[in-house]
Structure 1
Amino acid sequence: MVVFALLACTVCGAQSKSEAAQSAAPYTVSEGNKVDTNTLQGWKTWRAMACERCHGAQQEGMVGPSLVDSLKKLSKDDFHKIMMEGRIDKGMPNFGGSDMMQKNWQNLYGYLKGRSDGKIQPGHVYPAEK
């Protein structure tokens, strides 16, 4: 009986952690393409900075690496560093001097993380209904 109670508590704890992880996501999405204001701004930053030239229109790589794959292991801090400093030796320019990137790198991270997590579908995104 004690084992069953412990097992039940473990399962409840796992569900709570899973729910917490979902709520901690840096994006909110419904129907695959309706996103919160910050994530929409991240997508707009993606478009304005023409990131698809190297990373592909669906973020799955072209000349540069697949961001769908990279964001599975890249931390938010590492992402920030790459955006601001670039990886010049690999052809990635730095965007530290861009006002748009300074203001929106976290939103861009949220958008790309949503793509990487498979929650945001490729293509155009739209504002979530309020």
Structure 2
Amino acid sequence: MKLRITVAVLLGLGAAALSAAQNVVKTPLYTVQDGTKVDAETMKGFRTWRAAACDRCHGANQEGMVGPSLVNSLKTLTKEEFIKTVRDGRLDKGMQSFGNSEQVMNNINQLYAYLKGRSDGAITQAKVSEIPSQ
């Protein structure tokens, strides 16, 4: 009898947790207008891209040069994989580590959002400007 009650309670708790998770409103990763205007946080990502000179290897349009196309890579790379790659580098492939760069690591979520927007096609060109405040 105790086993049935325990199972029923656990199933009930699981269903409640699933229901609560489905009701959570997700904040969009980035906001884009007209393909070239982005929210302030995504703009920080663009500025981080420029400051870290990522274009030297990945190209000015993130379409690859010596390093791979990030437009393509971000279609399959998870956020966790992206952060690990930026933080730790991939020395065997020529990717340096940015784990000691405060600029990059303090803005890693914003950098991911900017590059994901490029990869998703929502941001239509590499150079962006900030959406004007209302």
Match of 2:86 among 78, 83, 86: 83
Q: How far apart in 1 are the matches of 2:38 and 2:106?
A: 18
Name the aligned partner's letter for residue 107 of structure 1: Q
Which of the pair has more CA radius of gyration? 2
1:37 matched residue in structure 2: 40
TM, length-normalised to structure 2 = 0.78
Q: Deviations over 1:35-86 (max 9, x none)?
A: 0111000000000000000000000001100000000000000001001000
CA RMSD of aligned residues (A): 1.5
Match of 2:108 among 105, 109, 117: 105
Name the aligned partner's letter for residue 53 of structure 2: A
Match of 1:116 among 105, 119, 132: 119
Name the aligned partner's letter for residue 38 of structure 2: V
Seen in structure 2, the aligned counterparts of structure 1 residues 113 and 94 have a Cα distance that, compared at 3 Å, is same
TM, length-normalised to structure 1 = 0.80
Q: Structure 2 unaligned segments of length 5 or more: list them.
A: 1-24
Q: Give how far 1:25 is off.
A: 3.9
Q: How far apart in 1 are the matches of 2:65 and 2:28?
A: 27
State percent identity of aligned pairs. Answer: 54
Q: How far apart in 2 are the matches of 1:124 and 1:102?
A: 21
2:118·2:126 contact (CA, 8 Å) conserved in 1?
Answer: no
Structure 1 ranges of 4+ moved more than 4 A: none
Q: How many residues align?
A: 110
Name the aligned partner's letter for residue 100 of structure 1: Q
Q: Structure 1 unaligned segments of length 5 or more: list them.
A: 1-19
1:61 matched residue in structure 2: 64
1:79 aligned counterpart, secondary structure: helix
